[in-house]
Homo-oligomer: A and B are copies of this chain.
């Protein structure tokens, strides 16, 4: 298989994932927070504990701006911040209980959108999808 063609397929797939995401996100994001703040909370949600630098690096935000947004989230009490003992310049950031609740509520709305679009799904279909996801997560979209 041609590498060029392979990559084209991949890019196309990423495009469709983004399009689907836009659809699933409709009316799903809490209006307490901005889109970027949602991305940050989502990132923390999946990674459990992160530093300011990690947020900046992984979401392509400058460190000062990441720090600013995290401060806002802290003021909203959606995250908690603890200074690391190992290296006291860094801090560990986690979701607060409120932050977790907010994300859960958001995911519920997304789930609603999802099932409305997809309709019923057989056991077999679900299993095929999950195993496809596992393959892609192993080889391409390393979590």
**A residues neighboring B (CB under 8 Å):** 1, 3, 6-7, 9-26, 39, 42-43, 45-46, 58-60, 107, 110-111, 114-115, 118, 121, 123, 125-133, 135-137, 139-143
Nearest-Cβ distance from residue A53 to partner chain B, whole angstroms? 14
Alpha-carbon separation in the docked complex, A75 to B128 (Å) = 46
Please, which residues of chain B bring their CB within 8 A of the CB of A107?
7, 11
Please, which residues of chain B bring their CB within 8 A of the CB of A13?
133, 136-137, 141
- Whether the Cβ atoms of A22 and B58 lie closer than 8 Å is yes
For the complex formed by this chain, how many copies does it contain in all? 2
- Whether the Cβ atoms of B142 and A20 lie closer than 8 Å is yes
A-B contact pairs, 8 of them (CB 8 A): A1-B123, A12-B46, A13-B137, A14-B17, A15-B143, A16-B143, A17-B17, A18-B39
Complex A-B, nearest 9 residue pairs according to Cβ-Cβ distance, in ascending order: A132-B132, A16-B141, A16-B143, A132-B135, A20-B141, A13-B133, A1-B126, A15-B46, A17-B17
Tell me which of B19, B39, B127, B135 contacts A43 (CB under 8 A). Answer: B19
Residue of B nearest to A118 (CB): B140
Tell me which of B1, B118, B133 contacts A136 (CB under 8 A). Answer: B133
Nearest-Cβ distance from residue A27 to partner chain B, whole angstroms? 10
